[in-house]
């Protein structure tokens, strides 16, 4: 079966760095998305990785290892507004998005 695993909840301190991990098992693989979703709001796009390596975009970076079925989202200089759920979604061989349940990130002052 197809499966996406990510931690349910994480807590971090304002100004710190946090890494949210995601492991995936899909039938075929055509890339991985990270989305941010604030409570009661729609998901917003953060990143898309299809090649191995790290992609940096401001305070957010995303890493992919296709051989390990693993990705992480790195958030630096955390701000209170970063409190949200972070959703990992892998694209399978049918080009369908397989979503994780999301990681709820709590930022403390």
In the complex, the residues that contact other proteins under the rule CB under 8 A are: 4, 30-31, 41-45, 48, 50, 87, 89, 91, 94-97, 99-102
Specify whether the CB–CB gap between 105 and 83 falls below 8 A.
yes
What radius of gyration, in Å, describes the C-alpha atoms of the chain?
13
- Smallest gap from residue 77 Cβ to other proteins (A): 24
C-alpha 101/C-alpha 22 separation (Å) is 10
CB closer to other proteins, 8 vs 16: 8
Q: Give the closest residue to 85 by CA, choosing from 97, 73, 77, 96.
A: 73
CB closer to other proteins, 76 vs 92: 92
CB closer to other proteins, 45 vs 109: 45
- Smallest gap from residue 79 Cβ to other proteins (A): 22
- Smallest gap from residue 27 Cβ to other proteins (A): 13
Strand spans (E) along the chain: 3-5, 9-13, 18-25, 32-37, 44-49, 53-57, 60-65, 70-75, 84-91, 97-99, 103-108
- Smallest gap from residue 66 Cβ to other proteins (A): 14
CB closer to other proteins, 75 vs 91: 91
């Amino acid at each position: 079966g197809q499966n996406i695993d990510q931690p349910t909840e994480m807590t971090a301190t304002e100004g710190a760095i946090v890494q949210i991990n995601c492991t995936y098992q899909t039938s075929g693989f055509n890339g991985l998305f990270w989305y941010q979703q604030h409570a009661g709001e729609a998901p917003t796009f953060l990143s898309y990785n299809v090649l191995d390596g790290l992609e940096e975009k401001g305070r957010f970076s995303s890493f992919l290892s296709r051989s390990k079925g693993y990705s992480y989202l790195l958030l630096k200089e955390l701000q209170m507004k970063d409190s949200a759920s972070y959703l990992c979604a892998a694209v399978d061989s049918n080009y369908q998005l397989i979503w994780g349940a999301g990681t709820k990130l709590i930022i403390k002052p």
